[in-house]
Amino acid sequence: MGANGKLTEITQEFVSTARETLETLYAIPTVSKAKLLKSEVEGIYSVEYETKQLDFVREVPRTYSSQATIKIDGSATVISKTSAVELVGVSGSKTIEIDGKLFGVVLRSTETKGSKKRFVEVWENNVLEKSMEVTNIHGEFYADETFGGVAWSPSGRYIAYVAEPKEFDAFKPRGFKKNEENENSFGGMADPRRYEFNEDYGETFTGKRPPVLFVVDVDEESIKQVEGELGGRKDISPGQPIWMKETESEELVFTGYIVEPRHLGQVYCMNRPSQLFSCDAEGNGLRNLTDTSETARSPRVAPDHKSVVYLSSNPFGAHSGASRLVRVWGSSGEREEIIPIVDLPSKDSVGGLPARFPGLFTLYLPKDPWVQVGEKTFLFCETIWNSSNAVIAVDIEAKKVSKIAFPRYNQGSMSFLSEANGIVLMAYSNPAKCGEIVAGHISVNGSDVSVDNYSDLGLIAAKTKGAKLIEEGIEWSVLEYPERTEFLETILTKPKMKTELQKFFWGDSLPPLAVYPHGGPHATFVCGINMIPTFLTILGFVVAQVNYTGSLGFGQKSVDSLVGRIGDLEVDEIVYVAKDLGEKMVVDAGRMVYNGGSHSGYTGAHIAGRYGGLFRGLVLRNPVVNIGEMHARSDIPDWCFGELGMEYTGDMKIHEGKIGGPLMTPEAYKIMWDASPQKYAAQVKDPILVNIGLSDRRVPPEQGYQFCRLVKANGNKEVECKVYPNVGHPLDTVEAIRESVVGFLCFYYKHIGLKR
């Protein structure tokens, strides 16, 4: 800054370059879904796909629908492509083919002059047949993956979806004349139920009323809330509906989250008590289909509509970990495990699992996971596999798992999109290649499945300026540390060549290092496009995305190894990675910086207090700094106990003498304090920037505020705190992305930038 508070010329050039680069990269479209449809002409297919993109002028994310015609004759060639059409107000959609006809349902929300309305649209062969307004029937649609979903019954008569219940009536001003038909006006007072304590589900669900199921009778053109026996179960919050049909009757199957006595935060958590339930369209005949000692989520009905596969995990404890793939039959309730939890990968193929298979690490199954090849039916899904996101094919009858090869290299990030006639669509990316749709050919040998002869369709980002920057400017590798542990890996990205964009950070010596561990702590960075590391690499940094012990994709033992050791084990490994890169002269050891959010904000605060001088600047995004204080305000209080090896009882019953949740005792607080970086606040002397999302429900903003106060009060004048409104834990609004990312780059420039 100049003396008058304005940017100096060099700083103006720097900020302008940083902002333009950020907007170029973050505006790269990404594919969110795709469907492959065969035509009447042999070898000709239609690809319907949706993309998402950030608009930095309007400051909103935008979603588009496009269509392409491709020819597959050995390789795939795009013949034609339509212009993108923006999808506005679409909360969910689903298609079904019955007797050669294509039926679709769209859940649509509109707003005109401040008036919000909601509709359920039924389409037949791309013609709008019915549009039903539901504004006065219920509140907002649930469109997320945790609760949301829309599903056709096999007959095509019923549609199930999830929404907020209707809001209870507010008061009427004095002078209101009671409508004789309205028996619930309470003399003009508000409906007393309006003020009953009814918790939301924390992060991303702030202010939303708990979800309920609705069923559309397409023939009768009626829409009703599913009540009956389900309506009497206040301990169940339903979501993720599907339909099953074993006899003439059609049954609704859904994930029921067990939510009494407290509504815990749900998003990103696979350890929440939950079961699969079935009932009829009225909510009667309610049955539990699953094992109450395990969780259940992401149900997918088998092609014959008689059984359901789902993911199952252990309740409480670590919020993420390995899952089981389980199958259940509705009529008998019989269950069988298809994929077990894997403790450690085996070097050899064992029990139908491929060599080095780490287990099933995924939050949800694909919406339409089934692939039919001849008489064989396979389930395609993705799983974190070390530092990659891999696709596997599962023969659920033989309980045989096949790993699908990547289009290039032996690593990357790949997800299953769609299949038709033996041709599969995948989304594929790696750190030097933006996500694209690729088409491949499926081959089957018994229960073994492979995909080869991939073709990159180039439909998503191939011709964008940002994609060119990435592909021409980044090289990458995955580093292993067998001398230390099999559970530690680093995705290392480096500038491929010197460019004008790098002049602010990389000069004639070695490049600077940005250490970028993941949060969680049970998460994983995979070899795809991770935009903050990409941005830093393009501007001249070497970036180390650290997957420390406790990360997903290395077997359940990796997850369990960190529990009870947070603040020590992963901190030591992160420091080891940074020092190793400096000692090997990959980077300039005197110009290393740190960037971490949530749990990696926590590890960064530890490093700042215990390893002073290692980093020239540390950016902490929504950091955990005092676990004991966090427990009373976070939507995931169980995390505070579980990550330190203490049991949290979901029924909230108090057991005398027990050290663990839900009751905070002096003994439990001491364990949390001993693991909290706040106790080192007086020792923090390195420059610190804390970025806070004001609406964060996961890590209370007070955590970051108090850390900054303490560090500054104890002599560190290089402390900054930035607070971003209307954004939660991920800092993922367009405003927060632009301002916080350019902001922390300016912070780095201040402390290690090359001044001219």
Q: What is the CATH number of the domain that holds 739?
A: 3.40.50.1820
Residues 6+ apart with CB under 8 A from 668: 628, 641, 646, 659, 660, 661
Distances (CA, A) of 725 to 23, 157, 265, 695, 732: 20, 45, 21, 7, 11
Cis check: omega of the bond before 261, within 30 degrees of 0: yes
Enter the pTM of the model: 0.95
Q: Which tokens in the block code for residue 315?
A: 């309740």
Distances (CA, A) of 650 to 80, 210, 316: 55, 19, 8
Residues 567 and 653 in one domain: no
Give the C-alpha separation, 405 to 424, whole Å: 13
Residues 671 and 683 in one domain: no
Q: CA angle 326-328-331, nearest 5°?
A: 175
Query: Are 690 and 677 within 8 A, CB to CB?
Result: no
Distances (CA, A) of 404 to 179, 381, 748: 65, 10, 41
Cα-Cα-Cα-Cα torsion 725, 609, 751, 624, nearest 10 degrees, comes to -20
Secondary structure element (H or E) that encloses residue 287, with its range: strand 287-288
Query: Are 162 and 212 within 8 A, CB to CB?
Result: yes
Secondary structure element (H or E) that encloses residue 751, with its range: helix 734-752
Residues 506 and 646 in one domain: no
Q: Which tokens in the block code for residue 395?
A: 């023969």
Cα-Cα-Cα-Cα torsion 428, 433, 434, 438, nearest 10 degrees, comes to -30
End-of-domain residue from the set 338, 361, 387: 338
Distances (CA, A) of 672 to 346, 635, 664, 719: 35, 17, 10, 25
Considering the domain boundaries, does residue 288 fall inside one? yes
> In the prediction, which pLDDT does 402 show?
98
Give the C-alpha separation, 415 to 418, whole Å: 10
Residues 200 and 236 in one domain: yes
Considering the domain boundaries, does residue 527 fall inside one? yes
End-of-domain residue from the set 310, 338, 366: 338
Give the C-alpha separation, 595 to 348, whole Å: 38
Considering the domain boundaries, does residue 435 fall inside one? no
Among candidate residues 162, 279, 133, 159, the one with its CA nearest the CA of residue 219: 159
With a pLDDT cut of 90, the percent of the chain lying above it is 89
Q: If you ran DSSP here, which 8-state letter would residue 497 be given?
A: S
Q: Which tokens in the block code for residue 136?
A: 């006065």
Please, how many CA atoms are within 13 Å of residue 335, restricted to the half-sphere of its CB? Answer: 17
Give the C-alpha separation, 215 to 212, whole Å: 10
Strands 413-420 and 592-597: unpaired
Q: CA angle 303-306-307, nearest 5°?
A: 85
Helical spans, DSSP H, in 70-169:
none
Considering the domain boundaries, does residue 470 fall inside one? yes
Among candidate residues 340, 381, 320, the one with its CA nearest the CA of residue 551: 320
Number of structural domains the chain divides into: 3
Give SS3 for 306.
coil
Helical spans, DSSP H, in 116-258:
228-231
Residue 283's CATH number = 2.40.128.660
Considering the domain boundaries, does residue 663 fall inside one? yes
Burial, 65: exposed, middle or buried (Cβ in 10 Å; 0-12, 13-18, 19+)? Answer: middle
List the end-to-end C-alpha distance of the chain, in Å, as a whole number.
14
Residues 157 and 199 in one domain: yes
> In the prediction, which pLDDT does 247 show?
77
What range does the domain containing 193 cover?
89-338
Secondary structure element (H or E) that encloses residue 309, with its range: strand 307-312
Give the C-alpha separation, 423 to 36, whole Å: 8
Give SS3 for 234.
coil
Length of the chain: 756
Cis check: omega of the bond before 517, within 30 degrees of 0: no
Distances (CA, A) of 48 to 66, 84, 425, 611: 6, 11, 11, 52
> In the prediction, which pLDDT does 287 show?
96
Mean pLDDT of successive 10-residue stretches along the chain, which has 756 residues = 56 95 98 95 96 97 97 94 95 92 95 92 95 97 97 96 95 66 68 92 96 97 97 96 90 96 95 96 96 94 95 94 96 93 96 98 98 94 98 97 93 97 97 98 95 96 95 98 98 97 95 99 98 99 99 98 98 99 98 99 99 98 98 97 95 88 94 98 98 98 98 96 98 98 97 88
Query: Are 324 and 353 within 8 A, CB to CB?
Result: no
Residues 644 and 718 in one domain: no
Residues 665 and 693 in one domain: no
Considering the domain boundaries, does residue 25 fall inside one? no
Give the C-alpha separation, 625 to 707, whole Å: 7
Considering the domain boundaries, does residue 699 fall inside one? yes
Q: Which tokens in the block code for residue 198?
A: 């009814």
- Amino acid, res. 648: Y
- Amino acid, res. 263: H
Give the C-alpha separation, 594 to 681, whole Å: 17
Considering the domain boundaries, does residue 391 fall inside one? no
What's the longest Cα–Cα distance across the chain?
84
Strands 542-547 and 513-515: parallel
For residue 32, the Cα-to-chain-centroid distance in whole angstroms is: 12
Residues 234 and 264 in one domain: yes
Residues 172 and 277 in one domain: yes
Residues 648 and 601 in one domain: no
Residues 515 and 617 in one domain: yes
End-of-domain residue from the set 285, 307, 338: 338
Distances (CA, A) of 306 to 248, 250, 650: 11, 10, 33
Residues 164 and 219 in one domain: yes
SS3 for 640-709 is HHHCCCCCECCCCCCCCCCCCECCCCHHHHHHHHHCCHHHHHHHCCCCEEEEEECCCCCCCHHHHHHHHH
> In the prediction, which pLDDT does 179 show?
56
